[in-house]
Amino acid sequence: MPRKPKFIPGPSRLSKILEEFNKQPKPYLNGVKSLKLTYAYRNDHFGAKHFVKADLPRIRYLNPNLAIEVVKKLKTKEEDWNPELVLELRDGSKQTLDLDQKWSSTIFQELMDIGGGTNWQRWKRERIAAGLPIVDVPLPKKAAPKEKIWDSSNKKPAEPVEEELVFLNPGKTGAAAILP
C-alpha cells in the first residue's frame, strides 16, 4: 500500500504553463498563413521583445500550422529602423504592422484585429459591453516597501526613501507612455 504524502503538492509547472497558454482571449489566427517579426537584438524595440516572450508562445501553441519567423537584427546607434510584423494572409495578400513604440498588448490587439476572425470580434464586443479593456495590460510589479536603514552616526533608523510614482498616459503607447 503506498504511503500517504505528508503535504499536498501545489500545481505543477506544466499545469501553470498550460493555464497561461489557454487564458482568454485565445489567439486563433484563422486568416493568417505566416508571421515574420523583425526587431533589434539589443537595446531597443522593447514592446516587440515582450510580445515575443509573452504572446508568441500562446500563438504558436494554438496555431501549430502557422509559419512563424522571428528575426533579431543587431542595431547600432547610428541606424534608424523600426520593428515590424509582416502577416501573410490565406488569400495571398500581405500586411505589415509597424511595431515602433507600441506595447505588446497593442501589438497583440492589432494582430488579432487582422487575423482573429469572428471569435475575436465577439470577444471585443463582450469586453466593450462590460466596460473592460479588450486586452489586459500587464502592469509593473509593485516594489516592496523600503526597510528602515540604520544611520551609524546617530544610532537611529533613517527615514525610508520615498518612491516616485509613474502614471501611464493612456494617450501614448509603448515607452512614450511612461516617459516625461
pLDDT single digits (tens) 155-178: 555 555 454 444 445 555 556 555
Instruction: Give all strands (DSSP E) within 75-163, no chain letters.
Output: 84-89, 94-98, 149-151, 156-158
Mean pLDDT along residues 74-84 = 86
Residue 88 pLDDT exceeds 90: yes
pLDDT tens digits, 37-65: 999 888 788 889 999 998 999 999 999 99
Separation between Cα atoms, residue 109 and residue 135, nearest integer Å: 7
Q: How confident is the model at residue 69 (pLDDT cuts 50, 70, 90)?
A: very high
Domains of the chain, each with CATH number or no CATH: 13-129 (3.40.30.10)
**Global pTM?**
0.70
By the 8 A CB rule, do 39 and 49 touch?
yes
